[in-house]
């Protein structure tokens, strides 16, 4: 996550207004709009900012672009209740009002959950881990539990992932701080739910990686397409295996 | 009867296909209506990928015009990529709309907008995936009525077997008229079935129903006659012309996709039609006369569009945007209005003259400086006279000099290869012109880093133009000429490195030529190519010339015609052309005379523009009962209300 620069370069073409306030925004990707890629979301968000008339800051130069920085976007196809971004404003605004304006300018399914005025400290530093929920339709909970036991018993679970520079082998076990299987009581048929807490390493371990690890180490067999939802991102309590609210500091600081 | 959404079945499959967002819908300003409350339901298709089809103005306009009526429902569908096609076939998921994911076959009407003939195979994929018979004659009362529109519909004969009907010209009013006919027929309990409703549409004179016309051929393969085979069906079918663009300010609620598309901007059509008279240009011939939107209408549409979309770029569209009578004021006043708002304006189609540099400066006031593109089309003064592109080499040099001296570093020039009477020398002149442009650019700018890109496309003769009788240059000769030109430019030590050179090989042009001027027999070729896997022919990575040429040979083996016959053969005045019964308003004799003027051995004769010279009798206005609608109005942009 790049940090927003507060002072525009006065020498550049198209000098712009300076940033006087930074807002931190939590948003959700729900339902069918979980298929928006990060780039799709970025375009939709920029347009929503313009429609809502939010006084966002722009970079100067020949192609001015709005001051928005994104953190740890979830993979395309995964739903999320906890995505974060930061915007620079040329005029101080009420955070709740901005939340309402942006949310109504975005299509339903891309929803603004929370907006706070940024306090000192980098947001990226507080996004230490994620809590995921992975629904496995058609999978009996006992089967899922035995796969989880196999996974957790291993010190290292190697998987392969296609990266920019080709196929790479990585360990998906070390980053997993918590992994529990339970049954989905709301589902009509068998459906296991995995609750996963992962530490944000580089490269970050994603739900697909955990599933690949469960397949190789625990013999997990999938029946249908799993659906992953990120429930939280924030500071990690490594003892408890829980994820806190990264905006708590901004909200609570004097 | 309720029609269920296919989305629950589709959703688990989406993670396995590329760019799944294109199949999801959910665009801002999309309309979802109650299926059961509608009396007439349209599925509108653009036969290319979502990323190409979504921005299409024609589909967006009709989608909105139809949905504004409470008794009509319209949804959109696009061509699916090969991975999705396989997933759909494996899982028995039919062609669906992206709005409410309803099966296309459940609709009353399916309207397809053909901007190019290269969408024909994608169209066949869609009707096949929809579960409909490929051939119109095999369809039953439960199948939608398939109607083609768009520029290619001015010769729909190659797809005559696959469509039920075609509509020529502007769609806004005729889609409502068609809807009314279908509504009445349904309310009466569908008397006479499918044929009856098609007959009612055909009798109106504004809808072409191919199966109500018999085509007979001469022994040598030329068409003998095209004759109506039902009483009451007209001999000729007229195009539709929308008058008073200000009364039709669409799109009012432009669609904003989540997926990335080829045009990420809000577009306003500032006028429709063009009377410049470029002889190769089908769009300019079939969209006459010129009808301008007023400066006030443009201003209101721009503001509304920006408010509703959040786009940061506005395109002022038309066939030659700098020709709007008040373009200077439009540019200046829009520039003033959006100064400092990080909103940029663009003018996609411009002709070559210095005035455009002034406009371009106005449009780049916000700092966004897109490239400048000009279209001299022909390399030599002689050839530009042949095509009636009235711009001299000195005009071109003066224009680019103005561009370079105003700080532009790069200019793009568009040409065609294979124009009638063209010789190697005409094409080599493109290189000479490019060198002179760089030389002049270096002089006026005092810099060495200026560039010019020469982009060349192969010329394809099109129906309803003076060149409809012309021989198309074979792709071997086209490629050889362009190779020679490229070698000459590259070999030039002084200027070669400053000149970029872009062209595609001539083979796709040959197939486009077959489909453009083809008759009903070409339908067999299209079907054979599609059955062999032909898809997305407008995409160079998917297009296969060998497949097209091979299937053409097979499918036409029993006919006295072949691929060359349709493409490189010059036609005579007396030959019945496949589209002669389709009336674009142009007087056939005028077109022929214009063709003769173009190829006059003593040098081509030029035709002026009827906007500022007397009428030269192309025939459109009297035939279609239309008139030129242009300004200047002398008015200004209306002040914005405070937001």
- Residues A131 and A233 both lie in one domain: yes
| B-chain residues near A35 (CB < 8 A) | 14, 20-21, 24
> Residue B350: is its pLDDT beyond 80?
no
Residue of A30, A50, A66, A139 to mutate for B, most B C-beta atoms under 10 A: A50
Beta bridge partners of A159: A170
- Contact between B44 and B75 (Cβ < 8 Å): yes
Mean pLDDT of A93-120: 96
Instruction: Categorize the per-residue pLDDT at B58 as very low, low, confident or very high, splitting at 50, 70 and 90.
Output: very high
Nearest CA in chain B to A106: B28
Cα separation, B376 vs B417, whole angstroms: 12
Query: Could you list the residue range(s) of the whole structural domain that residue A65 is in?
Result: 21-125
Instruction: Categorize the per-residue pLDDT at A2 as very low, low, confident or very high, splitting at 50, 70 and 90.
Output: very low
Which of B523, B515, B530, B509 lies closest to B122, judged by CA? B530
- Contact between A209 and A199 (Cβ < 8 Å): no
Q: How far is A23 from chain B (nearest CA, A)?
A: 20
pLDDT, tens digit (0-9, with 9 covering 90-100), for B607-627? 999 998 999 899 999 999 999
8 Å CB contact of B366 and A14: yes
Q: What's the pLDDT at A1?
A: 46
Nearest CA in chain A to B365: A14
Whose tokens are 């809590």? That residue is A131
Residues with Cβ within 8 Å of A142's Cβ and at least 6 positions away in sequence, in order, are: none
- Residues A148 and A118 both lie in one domain: no
* Tokens read off for B72: 């009509």
Q: Residue A201: give its domain's CATH number.
A: 3.30.70
Instruction: Categorize the per-residue pLDDT at B402 as very low, low, confident or very high, splitting at 50, 70 and 90.
Output: confident
- Residues A121 and A31 both lie in one domain: yes
Mean pLDDT of A188-206: 92
What is the count of structural domains for chain A?
Answer: 2
Cα separation, A46 vs A63, whole angstroms: 15
Phi, psi of B251 (to 5 degrees): -75, 135
CB atoms within 10 A of CB B495: 18
pLDDT, tens digit (0-9, with 9 covering 90-100), for B355-390? 677 777 777 776 556 677 888 999 999 999 999 998
Q: Which of A92, A125, A158 is the last residue of a domain?
A: A125
> Residue B642: is its pLDDT beyond 60?
no
- Residues A38 and A144 both lie in one domain: no
- ipTM (interface predicted TM): 0.87
Q: What's the pLDDT at B339?
A: 84
Q: Is the peptide bond before B552 cis (omega within 30 degrees of 0)?
A: no
Cα separation, A228 vs A135, whole angstroms: 6
The pLDDT mean for chain A works out to 91
* Tokens read off for B182: 């279908």
Cα separation, B368 vs A14, whole angstroms: 10
B371-521+559-581 matches B241-370+608-643 in CATH topology: yes
Cα separation, B307 vs B643, whole angstroms: 10
Assigned domain for A147 exists: yes
Q: Residue A121: give its domain's CATH number.
A: 3.30.70.580
> Residue B403: is its pLDDT beyond 90?
no
Q: What's the pLDDT at B368?
A: 59
Residues with Cβ within 8 Å of A185's Cβ and at least 6 positions away in sequence, in order, are: none
Instruction: Categorize the per-residue pLDDT at B486 as very low, low, confident or very high, splitting at 50, 70 and 90.
Output: very high
- Residues A155 and A80 both lie in one domain: no
Q: How far is A32 from chain B (nearest CA, A)?
A: 7
B7-217, which class in CATH? alpha beta
Fold of the domain spanning B241-370+608-643: Transcription Regulator spoIIAA (3.30.750)
DSSP B275: -
8 Å CB contact of B260 and A39: yes
Residues with Cβ within 8 Å of A65's Cβ and at least 6 positions away in sequence, in order, are: A58, A59
Task: Give the burial class of B2: count Cβ atoms within 10 A of its Cβ; 0-12 exposed, 13-18 middle, 19 or more buried.
Answer: exposed
> Residue A8: is its pLDDT beyond 60?
no
pLDDT, tens digit (0-9, with 9 covering 90-100), for A149-176? 999 999 999 999 888 888 999 999 999 9
Cut 0.80: pTM above it: yes
> Residue B418: is its pLDDT beyond 50?
yes
Residue B166's H or E segment, with its range, is: strand B165-166
Q: Where in chain B are the domains?
A: 7-217, 241-370+608-643, 371-521+559-581
Instruction: Categorize the per-residue pLDDT at B299 as very low, low, confident or very high, splitting at 50, 70 and 90.
Output: very high
Residue of A8, A32, A75 to mutate for B, most B C-beta atoms under 10 A: A32
Q: How far is CA B306 from the centre of its chain?
A: 25
Cα separation, A22 vs A20, whole angstroms: 7
Residues with Cβ within 8 Å of B18's Cβ and at least 6 positions away in sequence, in order, are: B81, B83, B84
Mean pLDDT of A238-254: 90
- Residues A29 and A121 both lie in one domain: yes
Cα separation, B366 vs B460, whole angstroms: 39
The 3-state secondary structure of chain A reads: CCCCCCCCCCCCCCCCCCCCEEEEEEEEECHHHHHCCHHHHHHHHHHHHHHHCCCECECCCCCCCECEEEECCCCCCCEEEEEEEEEEECCCCCHHHHHHHHHHHCCCCEEEEEEEECCCCCHHHHCCEEEEEEEEECCCHHHHHHHHHHHHHCCCCEEEEEECCEEEEEECCCCEEEEEEEECCCCCCCEEEEEEEEECCCCCCCHHHHHHHHHHHHCCCCCCCCEEEEEEEECEECCCCEECCCCHHHHHCC
Three-state SS at B503: strand
* Tokens read off for B66: 């139809």
User: Among the CATH numbers 3.40.250.10, 3.40.50.300, 3.40.50.2300, 3.30.750.200, which is that of B371-521+559-581?
Assistant: 3.30.750.200
- Residues A138 and A194 both lie in one domain: yes
Q: How far is B302 from chain A (nearest CA, A)?
A: 14
Residue of A49, A51, A55, A104 to mutate for B, most B C-beta atoms under 10 A: A51
Q: Which of B191-195, B374-378, B568-572 has the lowest mean pLDDT?
A: B374-378
- Contact between A20 and A90 (Cβ < 8 Å): yes
8 Å CB contact of A109 and B26: yes
- Contact between B335 and B345 (Cβ < 8 Å): yes
Nearest CA in chain A to B265: A47
Assigned domain for A6 exists: no
> Residue B406: is its pLDDT beyond 90?
no
Chain B residues with CB under 8 Å of a chain A CB are 7, 11-16, 19-21, 24-28, 256, 258-260, 264, 306-312, 342, 366-369, 643
Q: Which of A94, A125, A156 is the last residue of a domain?
A: A125
Instruction: Categorize the per-residue pLDDT at B138 as very low, low, confident or very high, splitting at 50, 70 and 90.
Output: very high
Whose tokens are 């530490």? That residue is A199
Nearest CA in chain B to A37: B21
8 Å CB contact of B312 and A46: yes
**Phi and psi based region of residue A136 (left: phi greater than 0; alpha: psi -120 to 50; beta: remaining):** beta
Mean pLDDT of A45-60: 93
| B-chain residues near A61 (CB < 8 A) | 367
Percent of chain B's residues with pLDDT above 90 = 86
- Contact between B378 and B348 (Cβ < 8 Å): no
pLDDT, tens digit (0-9, with 9 covering 90-100), for B37-56? 999 999 999 999 999 999 99
Crossing angle of helices A141-153 and A207-218, in 10° steps, is 90
> Residue B628: is its pLDDT beyond 70?
yes
Q: Which of A125, A145, A177 is the last residue of a domain?
A: A125
Give the closest of B21, B307, B342 to A51, CB-based.
Answer: B307
- Residues A30 and A92 both lie in one domain: yes
Inter-CA distances, B171 with B28, B394, B534, Å: 24, 41, 29
Nearest CA in chain B to A77: B15
Assigned domain for A207 exists: yes
Q: What's the pLDDT at B366?
A: 63
Q: Which of A1-10, B339-348, B570-579, B629-638 has the lowest mean pLDDT?
A: A1-10
Instruction: Categorize the per-residue pLDDT at B293 as very low, low, confident or very high, splitting at 50, 70 and 90.
Output: very high
Assigned domain for A195 exists: yes
Inter-CA distances, B71 with B37, B65, B111, B189, Å: 7, 12, 17, 17
Residue of A35, A75, A101, A138 to mutate for B, most B C-beta atoms under 10 A: A35
Give the closest of B16, B26, B256 to A32, CB-based.
Answer: B26
Assigned domain for A171 exists: yes
| A-chain residues near B258 (CB < 8 A) | 33, 36, 40-41, 43-44, 107
Phi, psi of B461 (to 5 degrees): -65, 140
pLDDT, tens digit (0-9, with 9 covering 90-100), for B423-445? 999 999 999 999 999 999 999 99
Residues with Cβ within 8 Å of B84's Cβ and at least 6 positions away in sequence, in order, are: B17, B18, B23
Q: What's the pLDDT at B102?
A: 98
| A-chain residues near B302 (CB < 8 A) | none
């Amino acid at each position: 996550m790049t940090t927003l620069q507060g002072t525009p370069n006065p020498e550049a073409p198209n000098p712009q207004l300076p940033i006087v306030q930074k807002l931190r925004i939590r948003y959700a990707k729900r339902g069918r709009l979980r298929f928006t890629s990060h780039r799709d979301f970025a375009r939709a968000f920029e347009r929503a900012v313009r429609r809502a008339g939010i006084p966002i800051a722009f970079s100067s130069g020949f192609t001015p672009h709005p001051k928005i920085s994104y953190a740890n976007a979830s993979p395309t196809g995964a739903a999320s209740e906890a995505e974060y971004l930061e915007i620079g404003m040329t005029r101080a605004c009420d955070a709740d009002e901005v939340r309402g304006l942006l949310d109504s300018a975005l299509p339903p399914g891309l929803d603004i959950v929370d907006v706070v005025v940024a306090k000192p400290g980098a947001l990226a530093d507080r996004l230490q881990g994620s809590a995921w929920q992975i629904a496995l339709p058609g999978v009996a909970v006992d089967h899922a539990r035995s796969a989880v036991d196999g996974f957790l018993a291993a010190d290292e679970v190697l998987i392969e992932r296609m990266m920019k520079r080709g196929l790479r082998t990585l360990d998906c076990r070390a980053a997993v701080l918590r992994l529990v299987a339970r049954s989905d009581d709301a589902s009509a048929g068998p459906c296991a739910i995995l609750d996963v807490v992962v530490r944000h390493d580089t490269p970050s371990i994603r739900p697909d990686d955990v599933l690949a690890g469960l397949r190789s180490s625990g013999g997990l067999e999938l029946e249908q397409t799993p659906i992953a939802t990120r429930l939280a991102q924030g500071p990690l309590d490594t003892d408890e295996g829980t994820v806190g609210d990264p905006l708590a500091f901004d909200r609570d600081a004097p | 009867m309720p029609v269920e959404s296919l989305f629950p079945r589709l959703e688990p499959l989406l993670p396995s296909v590329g760019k799944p967002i294109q199949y999801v819908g959910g665009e801002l300003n999309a309309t979802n209506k109650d299926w059961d409350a509608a009396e007439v339901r349209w599925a509108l298709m653009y036969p290319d990928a979502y990323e190409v089809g979504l921005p299409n103005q024609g589909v967006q306009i009709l989608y909105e015009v139809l949905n504004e009526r409470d008794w009509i429902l319209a949804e959109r569908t696009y061509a699916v990529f090969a991975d999705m096609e396989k997933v759909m076939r494996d899982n028995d998921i039919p062609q669906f709309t992206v709005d409410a994911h309803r099966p296309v076959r459940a609709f009353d009407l399916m309207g397809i907008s053909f901007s190019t003939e290269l969408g024909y195979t994608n169209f066949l994929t869609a009707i096949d995936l929809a579960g409909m018979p490929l051939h119109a004659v095999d369809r039953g009362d439960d199948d939608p009525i398939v109607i083609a529109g768009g520029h290619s519909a001015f010769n729909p004969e190659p797809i005559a077997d696959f469509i039920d009907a075609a509509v020529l010209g502007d769609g806004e009013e005729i889609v409502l008229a068609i809807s009314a006919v279908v509504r009445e027929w349904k309310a009466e309990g569908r008397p006479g079935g499918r044929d009856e409703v098609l007959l009612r549409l055909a009798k109106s004179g504004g809808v072409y129903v191919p199966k109500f016309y018999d085509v007979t051929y001469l022994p040598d393969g030329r068409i003998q006659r095209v004759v109506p085979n039902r009483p009451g069906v007209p001999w000729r079918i007229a195009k539709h012309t929308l008058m008073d663009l200000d009364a039709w300010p669409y799109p009012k609620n432009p669609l904003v996709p989540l997926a990335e598309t080829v045009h990420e901007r809000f577009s306003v059509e500032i006028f429709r039609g063009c009377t410049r008279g470029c002889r190769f240009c089908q769009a300019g011939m079939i969209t006459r006369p010129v009808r301008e939107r007023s400066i006030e209408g443009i201003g209101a549409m721009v503001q509304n569009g920006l408010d509703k979309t959040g786009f940061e770029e506005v395109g002022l569209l038309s066939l030659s945007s700098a020709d709007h009578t008040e373009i200077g004021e439009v540019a200046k006043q829009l520039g003033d209005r959006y100064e400092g708002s990080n909103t940029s304006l663009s003018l996609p189609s411009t002709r070559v003259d210095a005035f455009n540099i002034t406009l371009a400066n106005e449009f780049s006031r916000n700092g966004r400086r897109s490239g400048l593109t000009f279209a001299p089309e022909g390399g030599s003064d002689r050839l530009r006279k042949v095509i009636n592109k009235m711009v001299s080499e000195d005009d071109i040099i003066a224009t680019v000099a103005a561009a370079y001296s105003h700080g532009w570093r790069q200019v793009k020039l568009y040409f065609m290869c294979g124009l009638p009477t063209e010789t190697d020398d005409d094409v080599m002149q493109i290189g000479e012109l490019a060198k002179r442009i760089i030389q002049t650019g270096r002089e006026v700018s005092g810099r060495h880093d200026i560039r010019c890109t020469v982009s060349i496309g192969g010329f394809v003769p099109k129906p309803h133009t003076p060149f409809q009788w012309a021989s198309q240059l074979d792709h071997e000769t086209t490629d050889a000429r362009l190779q020679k030109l490229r070698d000459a430019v590259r070999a030039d030590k002084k200027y070669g490195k400053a000149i970029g050179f872009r062209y595609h090989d001539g083979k796709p042009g040959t197939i486009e030529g077959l489909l453009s001027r083809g008759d009903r027999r070409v339908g067999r070729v299209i079907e054979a190519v599609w059955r062999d896997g032909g898809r997305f022919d407008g995409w160079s990575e998917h297009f296969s010339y060998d497949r097209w040429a091979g299937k053409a040979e097979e499918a036409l083996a029993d006919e006295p015609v072949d691929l060359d016959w349709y493409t490189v053969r010059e036609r005579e005045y007396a030959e019945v052309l496949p589209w002669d019964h389709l009336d674009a308003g142009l007087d056939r004799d005028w077109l022929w005379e214009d063709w003769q003027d173009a190829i006059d051995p003593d040098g081509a004769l030029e035709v002026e523009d009827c906007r500022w010279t007397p009428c030269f009798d192309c025939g459109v206005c009297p035939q279609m009962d239309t008139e030129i609608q242009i300004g200047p109005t002398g008015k200004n942009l209306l002040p914005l209300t405070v937001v």
